Amino acid sequence: MAERAILVLGAGGHGKAVLDLLLASGDFVVAGVVDAAPRVASVLGIAVLGDEAAAPRILAEGVGDAHPAIGANAARLSAGARLEAMGFALPALVHPSAVLGRGATLGAGAVVMARAVVGPDASIGRLALINTGAIVEHDCVVEEGAHLAPGVVLAGGVRVGARAMLGAGAVVLPAVSIGADAIIGAGAAVIADVAPGLTVTGVPARAV
């Protein structure tokens, strides 16, 4: 039975996905949700307790863990830093249907969604998001705040830089490096390194 309580920051679509993960895993008791601009009273039956200003009170009530359930990479990292400054811990979250290989590591606040696979000796950074059905093969490195959208495939030894965004169904060939803040379009096939901040799309992927 779960003994740790967790607060979720974010009542939008990604917040709903994180709550679904938490409810499926049973590893935490979900104390509630806070949101920068609450528009609903509950999400998946979990009460929205107010805006972010309510978080310190919830911490004082004994809820020691939190997660910034925000899809935008920079905003997620910023919210995570605010939660840590308040005193919350940011545990890594893994859906029970996900697979973690031997030696795989997860940074604080990293999330691995349903049916995703993280291969042996892969490294997932702080507050990185491995979304539904994504595959991160052996020895890959996904740096902090990066997001692999549903169905992304990283072949072995790929490096994804901080805050990079890989669109749904993108495929990255072995040992390719994707720079920080790069954007990879949905369905792209990345066959060569991508410079930091560059946007690429297509098959094979080219700069736009």
Give the residue ranges of the annotated binding site.
71, 147
List the structure tokens of 203: 């098959």
H helix or E strand, kind and range, residue 23? helix 13-25
List the structure tokens of 6: 């967790």
SS3 for 84? helix
Residue list, annotated binding site for substrate: 71
For residues 191 and 172, the answer to whether their CB atoms sit within 8 Å is no
Query: Sign of torsion, CA 123 161 113 23?
Result: positive
Q: Which residues are catalytic?
A: 138
Give the integer Cα–Cα distance in Å for 131 and 114: 7
DSSP strand pairing (199-201 vs 206-207)? antiparallel
Residue list, annotated binding site for acetyl-CoA: 147
Q: Which amino acid is at 90?
A: L
Query: What strands lie across the sheet with 199-201, from one edge to the other?
Result: 93-94, 111-112, 129-130, 147-148, 165-166, 183-184, 199-201, 206-207
Q: What is the DSSP letter of 188?
A: -
Q: How many Å separate Cα 13 from the centre of its chain?
A: 13
